[in-house]
Structure 1
C-alpha cells in the first residue's frame, strides 16, 4: 500500500512553488508602466527649469501636444495658445522645436509663457518613462510633463 501523505506533500510543495513564482513574475509586469507615445499625447507641464512654482491657469492646463501630421505641435502656455514645428529622431531620442506662433492675449503669465516657449525651443533631446516626458538641452533638464487623458 502506498502512503498518500508521502506523495501529497512533495506534490503540494511543487504546486505552491510554481504559484509563488508565477505571482512574483506578475508583480514585476504590473509595476512597469509602458511608455506613453511621444506623439498624439497631451503632455501637461509638471516642472520648468528655473521656475519654483508653476502657475495655475483658470482657463485650462498648460500643455504641449506633438502631432504626427507634418510634425506640428500645439499647446497652451497659460494665456495663449501656440503652435510650431518639430523634428524628431526616435531612435536617438533627439528633438528640435522651432517656428512658434502664438495668440497675443495679455495676462499676468506672459513672463512664464516666454520662459516656457523658450525652454521648449532649447530642447535637444527627450526621454519618456511611463507617463513622464522629460525634455533636455544636452544634460540640462528643461521641463517635465505628465501624460493626460484626452486632448484639449
Structure 2
C-alpha cells in the first residue's frame, strides 16, 4: 500500500511539473519558426474553389514582423502579443486581381482576431471563444 501511495505522489508531482513548464512557454516561440498554412476558415473545411492560386499562409517573425499570402496577394505587416491576446496588421499588400472570394473571406476573418492558441501543431486564431482561422505548419 505504501508503494502505491509513493507512486501516486510521484505522478502528481510530475503532472504539476509538466503543467508549469507548459505554462512557462514564451508565446512568441509558439508562433515563430513555422510557416503556417490555412486549414480551416470560420470553423469549416476550406473550399478549394475559393483559393485557386494557393492556400493562405502566415509567418511570424522575431521582432513582431508578419508575412503572409492571402490566397491571391502577399503581405508584410506586424503583430503584437500580450499573453494570449494578439493584434495582427497585414500592412503592405500586393495588388493582384484573383478569382474567388477566398482572399476577402481570409482578410475579413484575420481582421477579427483577438486571441490565439497553439496545440498539437495547430495554430487557432480566435475572437474570444469563436474560431476564425486554423493553421498547420507547412511541410
What's the TM-score once normalised by structure 2's chain length? 0.69
**2:31–2:60 contact (8 Å) kept in structure 1:** yes
Separation in structure 2 between the aligned mates of residue 102 and residue 43 of structure 1, nearest angstrom: 18
Larger radius of gyration, structure 1 or 2? 1
Task: Find the residue that maps to 1:135 and give its secondary structure.
Answer: strand
Residue 139 (1) aligns with residue 98 (2):
no
Distance in 1 between the 2:70 and 2:105 partners? 10
Question: Do structure 1's residue 64 and structure 2's residue 58 form an aligned pair?
Answer: yes
Q: 2:74 aligns to what?
A: 81
Greater strand content: 2
Gaps of 5+ in 2: 1-28
Unaligned runs of 5+ in 1: 1-35
Equivalences for residues 5-20 of structure 1 within 5 A: none
Aligned length, in residue pairs: 110
Deviation at 1:58, TM superposition (A): 5.8
| Cα displacement string for residues 57-78 of structure 1 (whole angstroms, at most 9, x for unaligned residues) | 5654421111113x11111111
In structure 1, the residue corresponding to 2:31 is in which secondary structure?
Answer: coil
Q: CA deviation at 1:55?
A: 2.6
User: What RMSD, in angstroms, separates the aligned Cα atoms of the two structures?
Assistant: 2.2
Runs of 4+ in 1 over 6 A off after TM superposition: none
TM-score, scaled to structure 1 = 0.63
CA pair 108-50 structure 1, distance change in 2 beyond 3 A: farther
2:30 pairs with 1:37: yes
